[in-house]
Amino acid sequence: MSSISEHDPDLVAAHPGAAYKLEDREFPWWLVGLLAIIAAMVLAILFSEEYQQAFTRIFPVPLKLIEGVAMTLYLTLGSFIVAIFMGLFIGLARVSKKTVASNLAALYIEFIRGIPMLVFLFTVALVLVPDFADLINRPSRAFPMAVRGGFALSLFYAAFIAEVFRAGIQSVPREQSQAGTALGLTDGQVMRKIVLPQAVRNMLPALGNDLISLMKDTSLVSVLAVRELTQMARLYSGTSFRFRESFFVLMVIYVVLTLGLSLMLRWYERKVAIPGY
């Protein structure tokens, strides 16, 4: 039996799993190109004295590199976990039949989406957190800048993740919910046992994109003097004026981190994918 051709739309339409399988067999030329760029940057660091000096000054010992990467990953994972839980509750409120909850969730989402990330970061870290510290009679220094930055990232991305949850929940056919209700399940049980498990599968690509975007946006926390990767590069470039070397080295590290995360997410999506869909 001949294989289904990518250029035969009738055959593809007749076999629901054909498009998925064809995409699965495509050679990842984009990955080859990206690895070539990374290799060129790494070679520049290895064989250029200026780039070697920039790398060793930004990260004078391997421990400094580990600390910078660890802070970036700490901000990424910590903020994303908090944003997931907040986004879930806001997304559930957004699709709720209760008018007050739905409108409050919509208000939060639209308000956050209307503010630039950097402005929101400054507002949370330098205004809201100090005001909260005064309210509970604690000094502002009790809340480190890394915690403030992570909290701001969580609040900001919760609005976008809430929309992902809303879209995922609404992508599940209503017949599924109606079937659960017919079996005697409550609305909460229908959402928890029927709708959300199906919705999460549909949301994985969008959530993966938000996680990668969040990792890149942790670089904005450098404006709060948090010693993550970008701040270390800024400190070196500010004293040596070697901006080209400093930020090329920084780009290499970020591309490697995001590429590794992207490949992990692609592997997980394929692992949980239903064949034929």
Q: The domain that contains 203 carries what CATH number? A: 1.10.3720.10
CA angle centred on 136, ends 135 and 138, rounded to 5°: 110
Is residue 12 situated within a structural domain?
no
Taking CA atoms, 211 is separated from 122, 161, 204, in Å, by: 21, 10, 10
Q: State pLDDT tens for residues 47-57.
A: 777 777 777 76
**Global pTM value:** 0.76
Is residue 7 situated within a structural domain?
no
- Computed over every residue of the chain, the mean pLDDT equals 80
Domain count, the chain: 1
Is residue 85 situated within a structural domain?
yes
Is residue 126 situated within a structural domain?
yes
Query: Looking at the predicted structure, is the pLDDT value of residue 114 above 80?
Result: yes
Query: Looking at the predicted structure, is the pLDDT value of residue 12 above 70?
Result: no
Is residue 243 situated within a structural domain?
yes
Q: State pLDDT tens for residues 194-230.
A: 888 888 888 888 888 899 999 999 999 988 988 888 8
Query: Looking at the predicted structure, is the pLDDT value of residue 150 above 90?
Result: yes
Is residue 238 situated within a structural domain?
yes
Q: What is the pLDDT of residue 256?
A: 85
Give the Cα separation of 16 and 7 in Å (integer).
Answer: 15
**Residue 29: which residues within 8 A CB-CB, separation 6 or more?**
none
Q: Which residue has 């391997």 as its token pair?
A: 62
Structural domain span for residue 196:
45-272
Is residue 30 situated within a structural domain?
no
Nearest CA to 169 among 89, 49, 83?
A: 89
